[in-house]
Each structure stands twice: as structure tokens, then as C-alpha cells.
Amino acid sequence: MDFGKIIERVKAILTTPRTEWPVAAAEPASVGGLYAGYIVIVAALPAIASFIKGSLIGYGGFGITIRTPFTLGIVAMVLGYVLSLVMTYVVALIVNALAPTFGGQKDQTQALKTIAYAWTAYWIASIGTIVPWLGWLIGIAGGIYSIYLLYLGLPHTMKCPPDKAAGYTAVSVVITIVLGWIIGLVVAGVVGTAALTGASMSGMNITGSNGDSSNVSIDSNSALGKLAAMGQQAEQAGKQMDAAQKSGDSAAQQAAMGKILGAVAGGGTTGTVEALSPDQVKAFLPDSLDGLKRTSISAQRSGAMGMQLSDASAVYSDGNGHNITLEVTDSGGAKGWMSMATAMAPEEEKETDHGYEKTYTDSGRLTHEAWDTQSKSGEYSLIIAQRFSVKANGNADSIDQLKQAVGSVDLGKLESMKDSGVKSN
């Protein structure tokens, strides 16, 4: 995969769409190639940004912050991403079916190309959800621009008369809104309950202005570098999908799509990732915490879209108002998502009259801490080896007590298990 071409296509379709659409429409393509070479990469960005905002940073204001529990956040991220890939294909089917109605020519690959490139603006702008206060405005702007891109692209890809492009666009947008609403309900039901910036895409260095993708260098530890690693593995699965489509084997098509998703979720691994067993995760939780007795403990391993997750939680108390919950989570099969989330997460700090909250990177570990001096409660969490999460929260003497609780977990041993359970197909 030439990852530089993806970057060039994103730049061109966003900045010079009138000249880029004819070029894109004339390019040879296939459904598998579009998915593996573009869609699975760019469509991953809003899902990861939503996880960062919901589970790592949180929503709120006026001194109140609400976060989606870590494991549920991963489930919502994976489910939302998979459904968005499905929605992309379904909308392309509808756009293709509508083509004759608006004087166009039916072509499923061109229809998928239309949706993929038109939605680029929305996918990129959705990263803005991690921006405090203004994130939703950035997302809306991206959505509006995607409608404009669709309007410009339909005459080139679906060969509809320019004077019918507005109606074609309007019908397509209405159908997309309805499908998006349904998907939102599905994701919300599962979890029980929304601009491409320098920070989010750090590591991208584009030199030259002639569209030469060889001048694009990518830091392997950056968000883009991690996406590139995922894309390399997804590319081969995309070729398998194309072969399966030509043969008409639906089972082979599903297997190929599963490999594409596995490559993205697993961070570019060629196989599956099995999360640690519940007993292994539970073993990291100590019997006591500096005078606080463990009163309960639980552990489980579950699957999210075929990707294993494990977590263990214990409650510690002294019977005098000090209660701390300590959690250890293995993102397992979704470790690729975690790697991307840590690379994209911004550093921020805010203070109130009675506390503070901040997110930062310390020794390569994404760290979040919050403390309220009035309620004497807070939270301290670390992302270990871009796979494991260790978090302590509750009522304590100070934030230092919560830090000590996290420190009671053998973080070094946990980090050494970063490749545990990685299997090759």
C-alpha cells in the first residue's frame, strides 16, 4: 500500500475537489481495493476520536465530567466502526440503484468510490470531537462539506447530468441521515446510553507540491504511522476480497472482510489477538491497599465483534469513608485501536476552584488524573504498552493515594505481556 497516496487523495479531494473528482472517477478500482486501500483507514479516525473523547477525556462542564466505562468504550468504538463500514457499502448500493432515476449509469464500484471520497470531509472533521466546546461545530462543518463533495462528484462517477445532481444528492443525503440515525441507536443501545489537527495527526511530514507521494515521510510511532502499519496488512485481505467477489463465494467475501477488520483492530498484526484470561488479569489486583481491605473482586472476558476484551475490578475500603476501586483492562483484540487512541489523544489541563483534571503522556504512557478537593475524590489511570489500562478511582486522602493504588499493580510485568496472545493466521 502506498500510504502517501491516501494522504494526497485526502488533501486533493478536500482542497481542489472540482479538479480531483474527474481524476478519481477515471482511476481503475475495485470494492476490495477501495476498502483496504482507503475506507478502512480514513473511516477509523472518527471511531477512535469518539473513544478518546468518551472514555479517556470525557464529556461535561461546570466541574462535572462523565466518561464511558473503558471496556464499554472499546465495544462502542469497534461496533460503531464496523457499522460505519457496513453503512458505507449500503449507501453505495442505494446510490448505484438510484443512478438511472437521475439519468446516471449504474456502477457499484464507482458508487462506492463516490461515497468514500465524499465522506472524507466528514470522517476527517469528526476527529474534532476531541476539541473542547468547538468539536461539534467542526463535525457539522465536515458533514456539510461532504454533501457539497457528493454534489460535485456524482456527475463524474455516476455520469448523471449536472442539472440533476442536486436532486440525486438530496435523496442520497436523506437516506444517509436515516441510516446514520439507526446506527446511532444501535451503538447507544449497546453501551447503555459525538478537523484534522496537527495534534491528532502529528508525525505527518509532507514536502513538495506536485502530488509526488514519494515525498511523504511518516513517523512510525505517530498516529499516521500506526494507520500505515494497519493498512499494510489490510491490503492483502483486500486482494482476497476482490478474488472472492469474482468467484461469487459469499463466505470467502465475509472471511476477507474479517481479515481487514482484524488487521485494523489488531494494530497491523496478521492474525488474531487473544486477551489475557480472567484469572491472569485478576492476579494483578493486590489483596489490600495501604490499610484498605479488599471487599470484592470480579473478572471477565468478553467478545466485541469477535475481538476479545478482559477486565478485572476490585473494591478496597477501610470502613471510614475511604473507598477505592482498582481496575485492570486488557484491550486484547482491539489493541490496534488502543495504539491509535494513545497516539491521537491530546494533552490538556483544566482547573476549577476546588480541583483539577489533566491528560498527558509520561514515559510513553498516556496518563489521566483528576481530583476534587471538596469531595476528596478523584481518578488516576495509565495506558500500559498501548494495550492495558490500569485505573484507580474513589474517595481517598489525596490523588497520591490513588497513584499508589495504581502503582501497587506490577506495571512492569503487565508491560512485558504486551504481545501475549498474538496469533498468526
Distance of alpha carbon 326 from alpha carbon 328, whole angstroms: 7
Q: Please identify, among 265, 297, 313, the residue that sits at the C-terminal boundary of a domain.
A: 265
Q: What is the rounded CA–CA span in Å between residue 191 and residue 193?
A: 6
Q: Collapse the DSSP code of 293 into the 3-class scheme (helix H, G, I; strand E, B; otherwise coil) and give the result.
A: strand
Query: Could you tell me if 84 and 229 lie in one domain?
Result: yes
**Which pLDDT does position 389 carry in this prediction?**
87
Instruction: State whether 383 and 245 are in the same domain.
Output: no
Planar angle of CA 280, 283, 288, nearest 5 degrees: 165
pLDDT band at 424 (very low <50, low <70, confident <90, very high): low
Same domain (yes/no): 183, 208: yes
On whether both 106 and 8 belong to a single domain, the answer is: yes
Distances (CA, A) of 373 to 81, 193, 195, 231, 318: 38, 29, 35, 46, 20
**271 is a domain residue:** no
Number of separate domains in the chain: 2
In the block, cell 465475509 appears at 254
pLDDT in tens, 30-79: 888 898 888 988 888 888 777 777 776 666 554 555 666 666 677 777 77
pLDDT for res 82? 79
Query: Same domain for 96 and 241?
Result: yes
d(CA 280, CA 149): 50
Dump pLDDT digits (tens) for 211-228.
333 333 444 454 444 444
185 and 60 in a common domain: yes
The more confidently predicted of residues 413 and 187 is: 413
In a domain, 404, yes or no: yes
221 and 362 in a single domain? The answer is no
Classify residue 343: in a domain, yes or no.
yes
Is 120 within 8 Å of 113 (Cβ atoms)?
A: no
Residue 404's domain is classified under what CATH number?
3.40.1000
Q: Looking at the DSSP assignment, which residues form a beta bridge with residue 77?
A: none
Query: What's the pTM?
Result: 0.55
- Three-class secondary structure of residue 350 per DSSP: strand
Statement to judge: residues 236 and 340 lie in one domain = no
Pair 27, 63 in one domain: yes
Domain coverage including residue 295: 278-416
Cβ partners under 8 Å of residue 420, min gap 6: 276
**What is the C-alpha separation between 52 and 335, in angstroms, rounded?**
14
Residues 232 and 295 grouped into a single domain: no
What is the pLDDT at residue 272? 64
Quick check: 127 and 341 in contact, CB under 8 A? no
